[in-house]
Amino acid sequence: MAGMSAPAHRRRPEELRSHQWYGTDGLRSFSHRARTRQLGYLPEEHLGKPVVAILNTWSDINPCHVHLRGRAQAVKRGVWQAGGFPLEFPVATLSETFQKPTPMLYRNMLAMETEELLRSYPVDGAVLMGGCDKSTPALLMGAASVGLPTVFVPAGPMLPGHWRGEVLGSGTDMWKYWDDRRAGLIGDCEMAGLESGLARSPGHCMTMGTASTLTAAAEVLGVTVPGASSIPAVDSGHERMAAKAGTTAVELVHRDRRLSGILTREAFEDAVTTVLGLGGSTNAVIHLIAMAGRAGVRLTLDDFDRIARTVPVLANVRPGGRKYLMEDFHFAGGLPGFLSRIPDLLHLDRPTVAHDTLREQIAGARVHDDDVIRPRDNPVAAEGGVAVLRGNLCPDGAVIKHIAAEPRLLRHTGPAVVFDDYRTMQRTIDDPALGITADSVLVLRNAGPKGGPGMPEYGMLPIPDHLLRQGVRDMVRISDARMSGTSYGACVLHVAPESYVGGPLALVRTGDPVTLDVPARTLRLDVDDEELARRRAEWTPPPVRYERGYGALYTDQITQADTGCDFEFLSRPGNVPDPYTG
């Protein structure tokens, strides 16, 4: 983990942003110093030093971040050693497992909290700690809106699951064995064993789900210690990485290397290349577009589709790959090893928090296992894992993780079976009277950004149990929802505009023929325009669900999936005054 040499120039105290709080000759400064004595610090422990805010998403309810309470001590150790002054801020925790209806509803809330804490307190640089799905984009969106020198500490994947001699992937194998239980293949006793074996240590999901995808994106964007994103959460190397993040944050302040200089268009293109080459989560599409927006970079669905056609999937990690988990990926070389296989597809001359160029950062990186991180001539898939679809059912786009679908479904026409909402779908999906066959196209609406609300991960609609018993394990499914990064199947997601605002998904009726053609990148409702116009005239918007509170703000402000689901007032350009310097 060699980094940059110590900065030649150390910032003088009066050059620090925190000087406005601590160092000026006025009543306020006096009061801030007096209150820091109250916190138990001597003047020489903090005055004139870079203040590094450590934003920690630790919580007792978040198994993916439960180790971060202790890990923050390692970050502080690094900050002290480098001559900085660490201050830890507990921030909202977004636990993918527990938070309902979905933590996606709260991603922008954590982004707001991150932004406002960094701006309103005496902070010169920041270390952000998180990794469970939405935490990574939330923290980076908020930090990007402020632009201070910032380092991200990924929470790290949990250890591989074990059960009955099998190695289990969290999430992915839960869906698989739940289907087996519904098909009557395993009983309650075995399920109890699975319950203890599926997730066996702190850390985020150890498949290439949303968490691993987004922390890898953070690493290639250049905001982590090199090699950080795949270090298992409970590995001693994770503690060393956290300490290094602390020292790096202080060095960045001295160099005045800001997040704004790192989160460039080139960096986001490399992040897209990376998540596609990893066979990563479809959620990355929404999050990277939102993160880029905060950095003033306009990233679009077309960027994803264009780049997807140039990058092969090389990471053989479940669920996109067939076999391995994040610990295998780590010991096979981790992200630096992966990037060493695709240098021609990257922008190597851009800076990171640790090096003057990405080229320097990945120099010497190697792959130690060609089955885990495949060579270019033996990829897991020839093209990136996500395809962007267009057509009269999704004028503003939709996505499908086609590498995680049964190939026979990638060109498919079938009759729609429409569910107006998730609860109705749950209640009725197994009803034989619906006449669902393996060729049917399951459609779920009112599960988008406003309609969900928060675009819950409902997109992998369950297969009816009578079909499961016949051995059917995949069907074409279409929704304006998202899907867990650990899920799989021929699921068309993020249909935009969503049905709740009157997108064409609102007009589909049971029995309508729908055609999915992934090679042609199209999704079509085979109903003529006049009939659709007639249905549109009859359509009435669904009732308002949140009359007050955060949900009302969310519904009012949320943008559609193709533009990243940020709040309109957070994503628009414009100045926000700094509390001291305006």
Q: Which does 82 bind (CB under 5 to 8 A by kind): Mg ion, ligand FES, none?
A: none
| 205 scored as a contact of ligand FES (CB under 6 A) | yes
Helices (H) and strands (E) in the chain, counts: 22, 14
Beta carbons within 10 angstroms of residue 363's beta carbon: 13
Least separation, in Å, of the C-beta of 174 and ligand FES? Answer: 10
Q: Which residues pair with 532 in a beta bridge?
A: none
- H helices present in 198-318, as ranges: 210-221, 236-255, 259-262, 265-277, 283-294, 301-308
Beta carbons within 10 angstroms of residue 368's beta carbon: 11
172 vs 446 by CB, closer to ligand FES: 172
Which helix (H) or strand (E) element contains residue 227?
A: none
| 134 scored as a contact of ligand FES (CB under 6 A) | no
Question: Site map for ligand FES, 379-408, x if CB under 6 A?
Answer: ------------------------------
Least separation, in Å, of the C-beta of 96 and Mg ion? Answer: 5
| 235 scored as a contact of ligand FES (CB under 6 A) | no
How remote is the C-alpha of 143 from its chain's centroid? 15
Backbone angles phi, psi at 339, to 5 degrees: -65, -30
Site for ligand FES in 92-131 (CB under 6 A): 96-97
Question: Site map for ligand FES, 35-74, x if CB under 6 A?
Answer: -----------------------------x----------
According to CB under 5 A, which one of 99, 108, 207, 484 is a site residue for Mg ion?
Answer: 484
- Angle at CA of residue 204, ends 454 and 186, nearest 5°: 90
Applying CB under 6 A, which part among 69-77, 205-213, 319-327, 337-345 lies near ligand FES?
205-213
Least separation, in Å, of the C-beta of 97 and ligand FES? Answer: 5
| 327 scored as a contact of ligand FES (CB under 6 A) | no
If we measure between CA atoms, which residue out of 87, 15, 99 comes closest to residue 53? 87
Applying CB under 6 A, which part among 201-209, 336-344, 538-546, 548-556 lies near ligand FES?
201-209
Least separation, in Å, of the C-beta of 292 and ligand FES? Answer: 22
Place of tokens 């090199």: 226
According to CB under 5 A, which one of 21, 66, 96, 173 is a site residue for Mg ion?
Answer: 96
How many angstroms separate the Cα of 176 from the Cα of each of 125, 163, 255, 402, 488? 43, 14, 49, 18, 10
133 vs 173 by CB, closer to ligand FES: 133
Applying CB under 5 A, which part among 84-92, 144-152, 213-221, 478-486 lies near Mg ion?
478-486
Backbone angles phi, psi at 466, to 5 degrees: -65, -30
Phi-psi domain of 419 (left: phi exceeds 0; alpha: psi -120 through 50; beta: other): beta
Q: What CA–CA distance (Å, rounded) separates 188 from 192?
A: 6
285 within 8 A of 494, measured Cβ to Cβ: yes
| 159 scored as a contact of ligand FES (CB under 6 A) | no
Residues within the interface to Mg ion (CB under 5 A): 96, 133, 210, 484
